[in-house]
Structure 1
Amino acid sequence: MTAISAQFALNDVKPDMVLSDDLLDQQGQVLLPKGATLTEHIIESLHRHDVVSVRIAMGELTPEEDAIQRAHFQVRLERLFRKSDDEHANGLLHRYIRTFRLGEEA
């Protein structure tokens, strides 16, 4: 199944929420790893690090929802690349996006 996440302003974050992605500082250093459970102390610390928002795990898609989302991305990608010729750069970009959005092999 596919995980669902949402971006939250740090002021809206509550203890026991779980990060869906690694939280990085402005230099690219990991402040908190993906899956970290937030506490009141951690939230206060994030304010001191000038973090303004975080991605929070919201659950997972059902297999049916996942199939609908994959079909939606498939249609969008076909539309976006409908006029692209077979130039190497376009083909490479198309493959990378398909891998990212649809989980297909590049």
Structure 2
Amino acid sequence: MTTIKTQLALAEVSPGMILSDDLLDLQGQVLLPKGVTLTEQTIESLRRHDVVSLSIMTGELTPEEEAVQHAHFQRRLERLFRKLDDSPANVLLQRYVRGFRLGGQP
């Protein structure tokens, strides 16, 4: 299933919330991995690290909602790429964007 997530300011975060993405520092090191349940101590530590906002899991899409979202992105991508030719650069771009938006391997 696809995770529904929202970006919240650190001041809006409360214990028990679940991190939906890895939290990285400015050097790209993982401060907290995705899936961590936040505690008061964790939140205080994030304040000391000057973290401003977090991506928080707010739920999951049902299979039906996921299918609707997939169809929506498919239509958008078809419209976006409608005028591109079949040059190698365009084919590669399409493959990566479709992989990112629709899931799966690029």
Aligned-pair distance for 1:105? 4.0
Aligned-pair distance for 1:42? 0.8
Q: Deviations over 1:28-64 (max 9, x none)?
A: 0000011111111111111111110100111110111
Paired letter, 2:10: L
Consecutive unaligned residues in structure 1, runs of 5 or more: none
Structure 1 match to 2:43: 43
Paired letter, 1:48: R
Cα distance in 2 for partners of 1:56, 1:69 equals 20
Q: CA RMSD in A?
A: 1.0
Structure 1 match to 2:97: 97
Q: How many residues align?
A: 106
Cα distance in 2 for partners of 1:24, 1:102 equals 24
TM-score (norm 2): 0.95
Cα distance in 1 for partners of 2:104, 2:79 equals 18
Consecutive unaligned residues in structure 2, runs of 5 or more: none
